[in-house]
Structure 1
Amino acid sequence: MFRLTSLNLNGIRSATSKGVENWMATTQPDCICVQEVKAQAADVAHRFERLADLQGHFHFAEKKGYSGVGVYTRHEPSDVLVGYGSAEFDAEGRYVELRFDTPARKLSIISAYFPSGSSGDERQQAKFRFLDEFHPHLMRVKGEREFILCADVNIAHQPIDLKNWRSNQKNSGFLPEERAWMTKLLHKSDAGGGIVDVYRQLQPAATDSAYTWWSNRGQAYANNVGWRLDYHLATPELAALARTESIYKGEKFSDHAPVTVDYELCL
């Protein structure tokens, strides 16, 4: 079994101070994709390069304390790609792809952090530009290889993916344009689709138990007023190997919860 976790750390220094490394050692993922590292290479060196015996590979943002993604793995990748070729967004540290290719197959594990548009219209427009760029990139990758993308997508796709969907229809993360982007990506027969939402494949009707992010305002976490923003998105062949899922809501390492899926897969 191949255990793969996705977690927005909301800062690697903060998450490790709250026990995420011990949790990793206990749950023993084969790979953990992390987002919002919020550190630079110098901050990670000699401290966060390895966690719980897993080797990290990163894409850092140019701006200090901002964004950044990584994949920690116990398997040696055949190649590591940093960035996806975006003139605008590669500077923000949003994409790292680990390839585990053999003569018989081409397979990638990808960690990505989609922009948030919640701070205002300027960042919402940037989010739309990212979505416009990222969709054709994923289609190109899908045409060449199998992949699992673990990401904080910053989009709740359906009403069952957030607590207060009626009052959030004009808010970033649940806008019609964002949801339509997800619908196209996940469409089974559309030429621009074919990607599988692995959690929803395993838990098609889950509501309150599906949330992965809670606002720090009010009593959102205590009252489980959450959103499902963190995804495993896979090509159909790999999605078919998913067996079990879990969203960990014990110790709180971040404002996001880790999403873990076990795949019947050997790297």
Structure 2
Amino acid sequence: MKLISWNVNGLRACVNKGFNEYFAEEDADIFCLQETKLQEGQISLDHGEKYRQYWNYAVKKGYSGTAVFTKKEPLSVSIGIEGVEETEGRVITLEYEGFYLVNAYSPNARRDLSRLAYRLEWEDRFRAHLKRLDKQKPVVICGDLNVAHQEIDLKNPKSNNGNSGFTLEERGKMTELLASGFIDSFRHLHPDTKDVYSWWSYMPKVRERNVGWRIDYFLVSERLAPAIADARIECAVMGSDHCPVVLELNGF
């Protein structure tokens, strides 16, 4: 099974930059999006009868939002997480026979860290959601989790220490999540690989010089580790300030 996750930073803009061509070429079994930045009816994507579509729109126009395109019909679909008012379109959970899929777009703490407290509370509720699911069957988590976990996961860790996305608090929440029974699929296969990132700022020449951050992930329940066939980051794919991340699982 091939799964792809991509923060498209505005799906309508990404469609004009090659999204449909990449989508068709990759032919993933499940394709997850974050930061779709649209409301119901604002876009029409025709992928024939091959994919079912599930959307979680933010109330605020042009903000946040998630979507999942899946070839296989899920057993159930739920929006949001318990204890969090779902107005920002951040989480979609799909249940399949062998696992749960959770597509997430974690809140940004903001440059001035004014939303850090909210972010940390959200992380606790998100982790609780994943642990509840994991008691029933394995979980695959994907999305823009808005944190570079370790120094290896961004180009300039020293100068970014304490900045949004690389605070000790946010990194600690990721450590806590992994310690509760999940693994980072990319680091599982590539523990020492450097200079592979999934997001670059729009500042001039940043992407050309590969001054990036790895903040987009596929995490899986620990018992799924033997099923991981590949986990990679498609750094060369343009269309957004993020690039797609890919997970291939055997046995599904």
1:58 aligns to what? 55
1:207 aligns to what? 194
Q: Does the Cα contact within 8 Å between 1:51 and 1:72 map onto a contact in 2?
A: no
The partner residue of 1:84 within 71, 81, 85 is: 81
Q: Percent same amino acid among aligned pairs?
A: 37
Aligned ranges for residues 142-161 of structure 1 at < 5 Å?
142-161=134-153
1:252 aligns with 2:244: no
Deviations 1:225-263 (A, max 9, x none): 000000001112223211112221334111001011111
1:35 aligns to what? 34
Give, in whole Å, the separation in 1 of the partners of 2:186 and 2:24: 23
Give, in whole Å, the separation in 2 of the partners of 1:125 and 1:213: 23
Deviations 1:23-54 (A, max 9, x none): 1111111111110011111214xx13748943
The one-letter code of the counterpart of 1:151 is G
Q: Does the Cα contact within 8 Å between 1:21 and 1:51 map onto a contact in 2?
A: no
- Going from structure 1 to structure 2, the CA distance change for 1:182 and 1:39 (only over 3 Å counts) comes to same
2:206 aligns to what? 220
Give, in whole Å, the separation in 2 of the partners of 1:147 and 1:129: 21
Cα RMSD, aligned residues only: 1.6
Consecutive unaligned residues of structure 1, counting only runs of 5 or more, are 188-192
Give, in whole Å, the separation in 2 of the partners of 1:198 and 1:250: 20
Aligned ranges for residues 80-119 of structure 1 at < 5 Å?
80-88=77-85, 90-101=86-97, 105=98, 107-119=99-111
Q: Does the Cα contact within 8 Å between 2:113 and 2:164 map onto a contact in 1?
A: no
Q: Which TM-score applies when normalising by structure 1? A: 0.90
- Going from structure 1 to structure 2, the CA distance change for 1:51 and 1:62 (only over 3 Å counts) comes to farther
Consecutive unaligned residues of structure 2, counting only runs of 5 or more, are none
Give, in whole Å, the separation in 1 of the partners of 2:171 and 2:12: 32
1:26 aligns with 2:25: yes
Q: Which TM-score applies when normalising by structure 2? A: 0.95
1:135 aligns to what? 127
- Going from structure 1 to structure 2, the CA distance change for 1:24 and 1:214 (only over 3 Å counts) comes to same
Matched residue of 1:112: which SS? Answer: strand
Give, in whole Å, the separation in 2 of the partners of 1:38 and 1:239: 33
The one-letter code of the counterpart of 1:220 is V
Deviations 1:90-116 (A, max 9, x none): 111000011112xxx4x1111100011
Matched residue of 2:87: which SS? Answer: helix
